[in-house]
Chain A
Amino acid sequence: MAVSLTIDNSALAPIAGRLVKRGGLAGADRVWALAFVTPYVGIFFAFVLYPVCYGLWLGSDPASYRQLLADPVYPSAIVNTLLYLLIAVNLKLFLALLLSGLFMRKGWRMKTLLLIFILPWAVPGIPTFISIHWMLNSQWGLINNAIWELFQTDGPPWLDNSTLALSSVIYAHIWKWLPFWTIIFLAGRMAIPRELYEAAEMDGASSFGRFIHITFPLLASLYLVCTLLSTIWALGDFNSVRFVSGGGPALSTHVLATLGIRNAFELGNPALGMATVLSALPLLIPLVMLLMRQLKKGEVQL
């Protein structure tokens, strides 16, 4: 960015005498400030505060929760949500941390690899999730066709078994979001001064030692913030479950986000749907509070 603005102080001096008073806003400025923030304040009230309050009100009927607890799909949806968050988020971030180290290497080969590696993130999610759904089809999907070609044996029924189907959803999530988090960690690594590594190398630290004693401690708070943020986003993830497993087989791979939408729209019971979603609050609120506290420390910025 080229900013070429020079301010001639001597030219300003004569006017400086009748200077506008600084700090605080007066008169016309105040009106302008008010006008400038009105659109955002309006949006916040109309499309954040109102829906939040309305949602809380919609999900405030104890009867919906009784109905929810009686639903056999609900407990499995909770277990799925927890498994999904724990496995998908942690596996993804750990891989991203390792891979970011790979991409620190120099040369055109790594640059090209990064360009290819970034594809899942650059391609819209829906088509790729649909593609993953098909390639995992047990009769004519690409994966089982390839297994047949290579080993002359039938591959597993990926989407017809609930454990495999949930694993497939987790795979799809990691595939889609791994590049994004790798880039975040790559940026984090690039911010670490090279001298630290050079000094450690002089002291005879192995590359593993350098990772444990330099990279990880310096990236720890970034890693924590990423884990929290990624968990919050994964909690609200609808698309990968909806399109990869569709909640099946036999509703066994629903997570709270997809079950909420199903209860509200497919079963036509918005109060039940809202209750489903709101039952994630005991998990969401501590995550948000922890994240807020981390961000307040100011070591990592959003």
Chain B
Amino acid sequence: MSVASRARLDRRLVDASVAMVSVVLIIWTIVPLYNMVRVALQEKEDVFSNSVFPTTVTWHSFETAFRESYWLLANFWGQMGTSFYIGVSVAFLTLAIGTLTSFTISRMKIRRGWMLTNAALLTYMIPMSFLAIPFYSIMGKYGLTDNPLSVIAVEVTFATPYAIFIFKQYGASIPQELDEAARIDGASPPQIFFRIYLPLMAPALVAIGTYALLLSWNEYLYAFLLLSSDGNITVPVGLGKFLNSDEAPWNYLMAAAIIYALPPMAIYYAFRRKMNSGLTMGGVKG
């Protein structure tokens, strides 16, 4: 065989195996998601059928979720509201506290700034669920039982360390001379923070804001433990309640779950580039 035809054969083999791996990956990725759609598009009785594809396709369960016309979904939009309120608050507070802290550590150069960095690093390495038990009692002591503020506090606590790392790294690319020049012009620290630091940090703010929003939108354990009344729970907690009911209106659950999954997906795909650059800028974080 000539070298050229040999190379062509090799390339074909590589292309074929890439194609095969791609097909396997697509199936692997899609199956659980397809199952969500399949269940949501069926009538309640058909959920237990033995078919791979929905026997009769109906939008009935989406309609039920939209109109809240099933008792477990009675407050679905209220729960979406709570999830949204918690998510936006967590994003805002994480950005505010994260930028203020990283500004003070790396731009104002306070002594013992390393202590703050280490505190953040330590927090980052505590598995979140390990503190659930003490948090439950402590929130009672703080008088925050069944109050969304308690969930906001927890999520801000666990999102801020990562925010501080990213802001510190991103901030290192902003020349210190800008601050010095502003100082000479008589600018006070808050003026430097708002007029110079924040505007130049915009890309990192978008990445971290999205990260914090998605973190809290997806969070289950703390919302489940700390919120109890129907008016205060978030969507994932509401979805979890389906599992405890004796009936199995699983098409409704999946329809609600799909509606709940759409906003973060839209946000994720819209900010994908910024998120990814934020991630890789920092290296690692889920």
Residues of A within 8 A of B (CB): 1, 3, 5, 7, 12, 15-16, 19-20, 22-25, 28-29, 32-33, 36-37, 39-41, 43-44, 46-48, 50-52, 54-55, 58, 99, 102, 105, 109, 113, 115-128, 130-132, 134-135, 139-140, 142-143, 145-146, 148-149, 175, 177, 180, 183-184, 187, 222, 225-226, 229, 232-233, 235-239, 243, 246, 257, 260-261, 264-265, 270, 273-274, 277, 280, 284, 288, 291-292, 295, 300-302
Contact = CB atoms under 8 A, between A and B. Distances in A.
Contacts of B119: 44, 48
Contacts of A23: 109
A261 B129 contact: yes
A134 B39 contact: yes
Interface in B215-269: 217-218, 220-221, 225, 236, 239-240, 243, 250, 253-254, 257-258, 260-261, 264-265, 268-269
Sorting the interface of chain B by its residue count into under 10, 10 to 19, 20 to 34 or 35 or more gives 35 or more
A257 B178 CA distance: 48
Interface in B87-138: 96-97, 100-101, 103-105, 108-111, 116, 119-138
B130 A124 contact: no
Given A7-B181, A125-B220, A149-B52, A32 B190 contact: yes
Contact of A122 (B22, B177, B268): B268
The 10 closest A-B pairs by CB, nearest first: A236-B127, A127-B257, A187-B280, A55-B134, A32-B189, A122-B268, A51-B134, A47-B157, A135-B35, A40-B101
B138 A37 contact: no
A25 B282 contact: no
Given A12-B184, A109-B22, A301-B283, 11 more contacts: A36-B108, A44-B119, A54-B134, A58-B133, A119-B29, A124-B236, A126-B236, A127-B239, A175-B28, A183-B276, A265-B225
A22 B276 CA distance: 37
Interface stretch (B43-51, B61-69, B71-79): B43-51
Q: Of residues B32, B38, B193, which shows the largest number of chain A Cβ atoms within 10 Å of its Cβ? A: B32
Interface string B22-37: 1001101111111110
A238 B279 contact: no
B108 A127 contact: no
A149 to B, nearest CB: 6
A277 B132 CA distance: 10
A39 B51 contact: no
B129 A142 contact: no
A300 to B, nearest CB: 6
11 contacts: A32-B190, A39-B96, A47-B153, A102-B18, A113-B22, A118-B272, A126-B220, A236-B129, A273-B133, A302-B162, A302-B285
Nearest to A20: B183
A51 B72 CA distance: 33
A25 B280 contact: no
B160 to A, nearest CB: 7
Contacts of A238: 129, 220-221
A239 B51 CA distance: 28
B200 interface: yes
A239 B105 CA distance: 35
B32 A175 contact: yes
Contacts of A43: 97, 153, 156-157, 160
Contacts of B265: 119, 122-123
Contacts of B279: 183-184, 187
B218 A302 contact: no
Nearest to B22: A113
A37 B104 contact: yes
Given A36-B103, A47-B154, A131-B36, A124 B127 contact: no
Contacts of A109: 22
B283 A222 contact: yes
Given A7-B181, A270-B137, A146 B203 contact: no
Nearest to B262: A123
Contact of B32 (A48, A131, A145, A295): A131
A139 B50 CA distance: 8
B21 interface: yes
A51 B131 contact: yes
A257 B127 contact: yes
A132 B32 contact: yes
Contacts of A55: 130-131, 133-134
B96, B121, B132, B164 pick with most chain A CB within 10 angstroms? B132
A122 B282 CA distance: 19
Nearest to B51: A145
A54 B48 contact: no
A177 B30 CA distance: 14
